[in-house]
Structure 1
Amino acid sequence: MLVDSHCHLDFPDFQEDLDDLLGRAAAAGVGLMVSIGTRISQFDKVLSVAERYENVYCTVGVHPHEAGEEGAIGTADLIALARHPKVIGFGETGLDYFYDHSPRELQQAAFRNHIAAARETGLPVIVHTRDADDDTVAILTEEAATGPFTGVIHCFSSSRQLAEKSLDLGLYISLSGIITFNKAEELRQTVRDLPLNRLLVETDAPYLAPIPKRGKRNEPAFVAHTAAKLAELKGVEPDALARITTDNFFRLFTKVTR
């Protein structure tokens, strides 16, 4: 079984064919999906999808793009929403300096609040980082000094240094369809050196469809293509890669039972 550890099933892209989409995921060997929160104001939509399907879980959080519009989300608010049995983590949160849709100081404050919720509950934090490696590492390091927490760098496409520091701090690395892209050889070189026991796979659907689905709407079934590429990079059989990454998922997302 494969797990799509990061997708956005509440997005409008999927509202017309969710049942069919989950059927295609099952046919591709994808047995579990995590639909990731990006706005507290729309959390009810994320949760409703998770409640509708037995093999869909979700997270609660504010994407860095939305940190300005969503206002100051406190740690206590995040923890309260995470009491629902289908909510298994916090995020996605982090820093995005590529677009700077929200003021950086608000992104940073929200990021720290999500980490604090992760620390207090033991649930993982899902980290988005783009063009912000130095500040991401600084915040993760400072927060780890306050107390341990778990988490994952989602859709990893950053520097080798960020990967290594994140692993040192006990975080996991999640890989998306980007590893299949023609221009991603530098990323693939880094991925070859990452420890298999700390890797997850994801789609980030509806975005970043892998080759050979490039240019199409991404969906959970397509994580099989990313997993196949990762198996090739790591020199293992696809079945072994599926087993390892799924075991990693359950080790990180401890609220989910097999």
Structure 2
Amino acid sequence: MLIDTHVHLNADQYEGEIDDVITRAKEDGVEKFVVIGFDRKTIQRTMDLIEAYDEVYGVIGWHPVDAVDCTDEDLEWIESLADNEKIVAIGEMGLDYHWDKSPKDVQEEVFIKQIELAKRVNLPIVIHNREAEEDAIRILEENDAKTVGGIMHSFHNGTDEQIDRVLDMGFYVSLAGVITFKNAKRPKEVAQYVPLNRLVVETDAPYLTPHPYRGKRNEPKHVRLVAEELAELRGISIEEVEEATTENAKRIYNI
């Protein structure tokens, strides 16, 4: 069995289809789904989903692209929701230097506030990083994020040295469909470099659709394609990947 550790079942793309999407994933051996809420709309949808489905868990936080819109009231609301037993982490938080909606200093401020929030509620954190690996890791180190730990979501492009620093803080590395892309040299290297006991798999669906379905809407059932590619890259069985990544996910999310 597999766990999709990062999926956006709260996205508009799945409206009216949740039952079918979950059923298809279960038929492919996906037993649990961790849904990420990263703004007011998707957080509320996440809370609704974890109430409606036994196999769905939630992560709630504020996305760095929208950091400029985040208020203290938003963070207080997130903290108030975090005592739900099916909320398993705070996030996705972090830095995104690809889009220019939120200034870097605002992103950093909201990032640090969420690390402190996670410490107060004693939950791990899920980190979004895009074109900002060094700054994201520096902020985690400077703010003692190792006390809560967490997952570096879709962390495909870090250097070996950066990965070592992440692992030293007790973080896990999550791999998505990018490792199935034929030209994804560095992501494939990362999939082989990180110790198996620190890897989890995800889809980030409806985004990052793996080969051979690139260009189509992603679904959580495709986390199996990520696991199969991981097994091939490491020269081990799919059963080993299933067992390790599922145990890792259950450990970090405490489920």
TM bucket, shorter chain: over 0.9
Letter of the structure 2 residue corresponding to residue 224 of structure 1: R
> What TM-score, normalized by structure 2, do the two folds share?
0.95
Deviation at 1:101, TM superposition (A): 1.9
Give me the identity figure in percent. Answer: 38
Residue number in structure 2 paired with 1:125: 125
Residue number in structure 1 paired with 2:15: 15
**Distance in 1, Cα, partners of 2:190 & 2:44:** 38
Residue number in structure 1 paired with 2:220: 220
Residue number in structure 1 paired with 2:183: 183
Question: Over residues 68-116 of structure 1, what are the superposed CA-to-partner deviations in whole Å (9 max), with x where a residue is unaligned?
Answer: 1233467654332101122111010000011122121121111112211
Letter of the structure 1 residue corresponding to residue 143 of structure 2: E
Letter of the structure 1 residue corresponding to residue 155 of structure 2: F
Alignment of 1:112-191 (within 5 A): 112-144=112-144, 148-160=147-159, 161-191=161-191
Q: How many residues align?
A: 254
Contact 2:94/2:127, CA 8 A, preserved across alignment: yes
- Residue 210 in 1 paired to residue 207 in 2? no
- Residue 6 in 1 paired to residue 6 in 2? yes
Letter of the structure 1 residue corresponding to residue 149 of structure 2: T
Residue number in structure 1 paired with 2:44: 44
- Residue 71 in 1 paired to residue 66 in 2? no
- 3-state SS of 1:36 partner: strand
Deviation at 1:136, TM superposition (A): 0.7
Deviation at 1:181, TM superposition (A): 0.7
Residue number in structure 2 paired with 1:192: 192
**Distance in 1, Cα, partners of 2:177 & 2:135:** 25
Question: Over residues 190-234 of structure 1, what are the superposed CA-to-partner deviations in whole Å (9 max), with x where a residue is unaligned?
Answer: 221110000000000000111122111001000000000011112
Letter of the structure 2 residue corresponding to residue 149 of structure 1: V
Shift in CA distance, 80/93, structure 1 to aligned 2, threshold 3 Å:
same
> What TM-score, normalized by structure 1, do the two folds share?
0.94
Contact 2:63/2:91, CA 8 A, preserved across alignment: yes
Question: Over residues 156-209 of structure 1, what are the superposed CA-to-partner deviations in whole Å (9 max), with x where a residue is unaligned?
Answer: 122223322111111000000000111211221222111000000000000011
Question: Over residues 47-82 of structure 1, what are the superposed CA-to-partner deviations in whole Å (9 max), with x where a residue is unaligned?
Answer: 111211110011111111111123346765433210
Letter of the structure 2 residue corresponding to residue 226 of structure 1: V
**Distance in 2, Cα, partners of 1:44 & 1:77:** 11
Which ranges in structure 2 are unaligned for 5 or more consecutive residues?
none
- Residue 92 in 1 paired to residue 92 in 2? yes
**Distance in 2, Cα, partners of 1:41 & 1:32:** 22
- 3-state SS of 1:188 partner: helix
Contact 1:176/1:202, CA 8 A, preserved across alignment: yes
Letter of the structure 1 residue corresponding to residue 230 of structure 2: L
- Residue 245 in 1 paired to residue 235 in 2? no
Which ranges in structure 1 are unaligned for 5 or more consecutive residues?
none
Contact 2:157/2:190, CA 8 A, preserved across alignment: no
Deviates more, 1:24-33 or 1:106-115: 106-115
**Distance in 2, Cα, partners of 1:56 & 1:128:** 21
**Distance in 2, Cα, partners of 1:122 & 1:235:** 37
